[in-house]
Structure 1
Amino acid sequence: MEFSHNLQMHALPQASPYIIRRFWGIIHKRLLKFSKFYCHWSGAQFSNQIMQLPFGLVLKWSDGTRVEEVLAMEAARKAGMPVPRVIFYGEHPDSPHALVSILMTRLPGHELGTVYETLDAAEQETILQEMDAYISSMRKWKSPWGEQRICSLSGTSIRSVRVPFHSMGPFDTEDQMNDYLLYPQGHHESYYDTEPDFLNLKKRVDVLFSDKHDIVYTHGDLKHHNILVHDGHVSGFIDWESAGWYPEYWDFTTALRYQDEDFWWYDFVLKLGGHRYLVYKDAERALTSLTVDSYAW
């Protein structure tokens, strides 16, 4: 079966007016309480970040959820990817780490990581080809913000748990992003026993930062728990809070940098395109060593 590698990005979605988002924020607070009752009644496990609701709905209200995630979901869904349909989203200015809540449809299926090894070879290949089609398609999307700008779908900052202070940008050039990623290393030099140890880490990072890369649209958190499968097909590609325009290596090196080579996910990511960026694996690890403490809140 052939899968389209040319899913088109439509006109950029626009955010709802603030007053509408505030209204739904109030409603979503009531739904949080209702979810506790519903889970108790139905026997489902309650989560205060991904809240189960009846009628096939889910309320996401977690750290770092932003309007940018909603817009990224809407863009991916319009392009034809299996993404939850956003019903309404609310704003919570009194909740600094969870400013936005999203009421969305629940997708069928199980996380890829929990079922992959129970699938037959044909099903595994189908899922690989479908994911390749989705990722290849969005890497072709043209940015309205310029070919070099690193930013979210809407041109704003990017939220990612693997960057200093969980947020970066927007940047007009890749060099600006590299400077930002390396900024915390200046506070870590005293951690190393000798200056050569510190300089060796910086030299390893330079393997990555000395190259120039295309800026492509990226999911931002390519993990097997963000892929749902049902009846041998991808039924969900979820968790778009980190989506945006990044250097082309980003999704793959993020997924591979600490992955054991004998785990099936490692080979899966290589086949998706990660093999082109294995040269940066050591540089990614060195960068993490220099800056990891800045990832905490």
Structure 2
Amino acid sequence: MENKRKHRANSCLLSLRLLIGKKILGAVGPHGVRVSSSRMIKGPCAAPELSALKYVAEHTSIPVPKVFNTHYYDDDIYIEMEYVRGMSLEAAWYHGHLSQDQKKYIITEVAGYISQLRKLEPPREGIVASASFNEALDHRVGSDSFGPFTSHKGFHSYLRANVPIEDCNKVIGPEVTKCHSRRYRSCFTHADIAPRNIIVDNGKVSAIVDWQFGGWYPEYWEYTKAHYGQIDCPEWYDGLENAMERYDDELKAEQTLWRRLDEPQLLWRGREDLIPTLDLE
């Protein structure tokens, strides 16, 4: 009974803080509200975002919002985090707030941060999982969490809706067969590197945000996902192409899957027992 009262009181306090914050200080993006000059609360959030923020802050020098507290309301997670001053790279780029030299510098910064992620050691090669080795989330796959997977082979089978690799040429395309037959390293991945998720101030990156898709994926995933839902900003993509490791074959394979089997999770409904799970024991 005492725990229920405490939970109810905390939920009421959270609701009040969000209401007052939104009215006085305003919203931050579609899911955030400023609650003080230096803090905001974002939610509802998926568990992978919380674990990714903490993991990246602990293991890299990548600027990410500091996590102060975690709140739970109606089974949803709300993260109280640092409010990072600045504007999105997307807004700065489109509205002419950056010089050409500043654009090049920012792209180099971002490439360096991606390199830090790629140097992190996974607990086991081949896994596809969140930072805490639990279910991952990526809207390229579907709106719900998925995995964790024991191997890239299992993850690739999931992306193909279980089409056997020997039938892949005929059913999906040879470019997919080619890439899904290769071996890859597991790399820690933001999985949504885009100008909207990069905060800049005075011509430098002040934070990389929105880590809800962050986790362990095949090494090509960062590159291909950077092209998923591509925005009309050729300068950004040209710069990124020159600054990070390219996976042209994998991009072709993913583009085929985006056209033919985007969000394959929908095809797995009712067949979840066939999906391999991760066991780190």
TM over 0.5: yes
Query: For each residue in 1:113-145, what CA deviation from the matched residue of structure 2 results, as whole angstroms up to 9, or x when unmatched?
Result: 1112521122112212211111101101112x2
Provide TM-score, normalisation by structure 2.
0.80
Aligned to 1:288: 258
Q: Give the corresponding residue for 1:113.
A: 90
Which of residues 117, 121, 127 is equivalent to 1:142? 121
Cα distance, 1:267–1:166 mapped onto 2, change above 3 Å: farther
Contact kept, 8 Å, 2:190 with 2:214, in 1: the verdict is yes
2-structure distance, mates of 1:24, 1:82: 32
Aligned length: 260
Unmatched segments (≥5 aa) in structure 1: 1-18, 187-197
What per-residue deviation string (whole Å, max 9, x for no partner) do you get for residues 197-253 of structure 1?
Answer: x93633332232122211111112112111000011100111111111111110111
Within-5 A mapping of 1:162-241 = 162-183=140-161, 199=170, 201-241=172-212
Work out which of the residue numbers 37, 43, 46 in structure 1 matches 2:20.
37
CA-CA distance at 1:25 after TM superposition: 8.7
Q: Given that residues 59 and 104 in structure 1 are in contact (C-alpha distance below 8 angstroms), is that contact kept between their aligned partners in structure 2?
A: yes
RMSD: 3.2
Letter of the structure 1 residue corresponding to residue 160 of structure 2: L
Distance in structure 2 (CA, Å) of the matches to 1:85 and 1:124? 25
Could you say which residue in structure 2 is the equivalent of 1:9? none
- Structure 1 CA distance for aligned equivalents of residues 257 and 149 of structure 2: 19
Gaps of 5+ in 2: 270-281
Distance 1:164 1:293, change over 3 A: closer
Q: Which amino acid aligns with 1:91?
A: Y
Q: Which amino acid aligns with 1:220?
A: A
Matches within 5 A, 1:96-135: 99-116=76-93, 118=96, 119-135=98-114
CA distance in 1, matches of 2:232, 2:29: 33
Asked if the contact 1:36/1:46 (under 8 Å) is kept, the reply is no
| Aligned mates of 2:11, 2:82 — CA distance in 1 | 14
Q: Does 1:86 align with 2:57?
A: no
Residue type of the partner of 2:215?
G
Q: Using structure 1 for the length normalisation, give the TM-score.
A: 0.76
Aligned in 2, Cα 1:183/1:81: closer, same or farther, shift over 3 Å? same
Q: Secondary structure at the match of 2:158?
A: helix
